[in-house]
Amino acid sequence: MDEVRAGTGNGLTDVAGLRVGHATLSGPGARTGTTVVLAPPGGAVAGADVRGAAPGTRETDLLAPTATVQRVHAITLSGGSAYGLDAASGVMARLERDGEGFAVPGAVVPIVPAAVVFDIGRGGDPSVRPTAETEAAAYDAAHGGPVEQGSVGAGTGAVSGGLRGGIGTASAVLADGTTVAALVVLNSAGTAVDPVTGEVPGARHGLPGEFGGPGATTAPAERVAELYAGHLNPLGTATTLVVLATDATQDKAGCTRLATMAHDGLARSISPVHTIRDGDCAFAMATGTGPAPGPAEVFAMQAAAAEVTARAVAHALLAATAAPDRPSFGSLVAGG
């Protein structure tokens, strides 16, 4: 992995043609939101791998290599638990308006797989959830520039092992020029910080200089352990989501394998993961602007998929901001 470097923005939009948008609900009782990843015009080949025991998803069966539809036009990630699945209809409406979708006689049907995280009531009002209008706002905000990270979009109400979770992203450009990138919504029952050492395991996979100098990724271990031990996480109230992407040419089976590798990145950066309390789900998209890689290049791409996912988890944790009732990793480092 010595020849790997980060892309220009060290994020998902380093895969040319992808756009990311967030919409965050604010106001009394609100701590939730949505995030959309838009494929280039015409869509992208995609696959998925669901590992958590309590997932909230739609259209994942359609991504099986044996299913008919080959391309997706967007992937949506949302708070609101199962209620948040309805938010994807806002993106579908926008895509239909813009003429993007699977062609059927006289119309198009946008293919929009979706997954949700549990954040109900974390802002105080359990009735505040993302809606189709929220996701439409995320669509309208989507762009190809740097991806905002931390306590935004689908990561607004996220919690990880007693600390504030959030959105994180990272990218890698391989020796052959292929770009691989990941976007993560960190909302885990397990912890993304080692409660014995206070270190962030995902940061161990960082590229040179990516996570700052000594101490930037270490918090007081006693405080980390205390928060994790007191973190009550009932069944079905956690989930970490991943959208992985590459510009290489891949079929649905190849994308599914990349999604599987993303789960390896979660296992390197969150402990435990894929539990009875989590609904962990990974999607993978291939825009196909680059050539179909050979076996050696596929191996490197799959290895990078796990690494960028672990790095994205670390960025999500480090970029999160403290809430009145929930410390962040950064606030612990600062002595909060």
Q: Are 259 and 49 in contact (CB under 8 A)?
A: yes
In a domain, 236, yes or no: yes
- 97: domain CATH number? 3.60.70.12
CB atoms near residue 260 (< 10 Å): 19
What confidence score (pLDDT) does residue 336 get?
A: 65
Beta bridge partners of 87: none
Classify residue 165: in a domain, yes or no: yes
Query: For residue 128, which amino acid is it?
Result: V
Q: How many residues does the chain have?
A: 336
Residues 6 or more apart whose CB falls under 8 angstroms from that of 106 comprise: none
- Residue 7 inside a domain? The answer is no
* 3 inside domain: no
Residues of the chain below pLDDT 50? 1
**Two tokens, residue 85:** 């699945």
**Residue indicated by tokens 């450009």:** 173
Structural domain includes residue 5: no
pTM score of the predicted model: 0.96
Q: 89-141, pLDDT tens digit by residue?
A: 999 999 999 999 999 999 999 999 999 999 999 999 999 999 999 999 999 99
Domain that holds residue 49: 12-333
Q: Classify residue 6: in a domain, yes or no.
A: no
In a domain, 149, yes or no: yes
* Total domains present in the chain: 1
